[in-house]
Amino acid sequence: MPAVTDEQVERVRALVASIPPGRVATYGDIASAAGLSSPRITGWIMRTDSSDLPWHRVISASGRPAEHLRTRQLELLRAEGVLASDGRVRLTGPDSVRHVFDLA
DNA sequence: AATGTGACGTGAC
DNA sequence: GGTCACGCCACAT
């Protein structure tokens, strides 16, 4: 029995793909929406299987991208209108760009 | 089997 | 707002 099922991976992929341009979601949001037991699993999936996804719309809850992605991710986000102040995307407050998944 | 690593999160301070 | 410790969990050595 695999620790992470293909179905869960597909669910994560679908969720990431469903994030509209100009919005972002956190690893934790995706983990809970996909039924994963830990946000780290989301990170693991993105690390291994992110090739054909808008991975740049997935960000840590602090709004700060991991160091090895910092430049690239902020550039891609800026290109679709997501502004970062001091290398940090605003995930709290009225001007938050955080995406909330609708559980239809 | 044990330890290390990581695209994370939360709570304490 | 920031740092630190700890929990978390799959994978690699």
Q: Residue A19: left (phi > 0), alpha (psi -120 to 50), or beta?
A: beta
**pLDDT for res A53:** 97
A34 located within any domain: yes
Which nucleotides in chain B have some atom under 7 angstroms from a protein Cβ?
6-10
Q: How many domains does chain A have?
A: 1
pLDDT tens-digit map of A34-54: 999 999 999 999 999 888 999
Closest nucleotide to A59's CA, by C1' atom?
B7
Whether A97 is in a domain gets the answer no
Task: List, in sequence order, every beta strand (DSSP E) within chain A.
Answer: 25-26, 58-59, 84-85, 88-89
- Kindly state whether residue A18 falls inside one of the protein's structural domains: yes
Q: Where residue A55 sits, what CATH number does that domain have?
A: 1.10.10.10
A56 domain-assigned? yes
| pLDDT of the residue at A48 | 94
For nucleic chain C, give residues with Cβ below 7 angstroms from it.
Answer: A 2-4, 37-41, 44, 62-63, 88, 92
Q: How many Cβ atoms are within 10 Å of A13's Cβ, its own excluded?
A: 18
The structure tokens listed for A75 are 């550039």
Give the span between the Cα atoms of A92 and A104, in whole angstroms: 24
Interface residues, strand B, Cβ cutoff 7 Å: A 26-28, 38-40, 42-44, 46-47, 50, 55, 58, 60-62, 66, 68-69
Domain limits for position A48:
6-89
Task: Let me know if residue A96 belongs to a domain.
Answer: no
Q: What is the overall mean pLDDT for chain A?
A: 95
Map A23-49 to HEC letters. Answer: CEEEHHHHHHHHCCCCHHHHHHHHHHC
**Would residue A99 count as lying in a domain?**
no
Residue A89: phi and psi, rounded to 5, are -85, 140
Residue A103, pLDDT score:
76
Q: Does A101 map to a domain? A: no
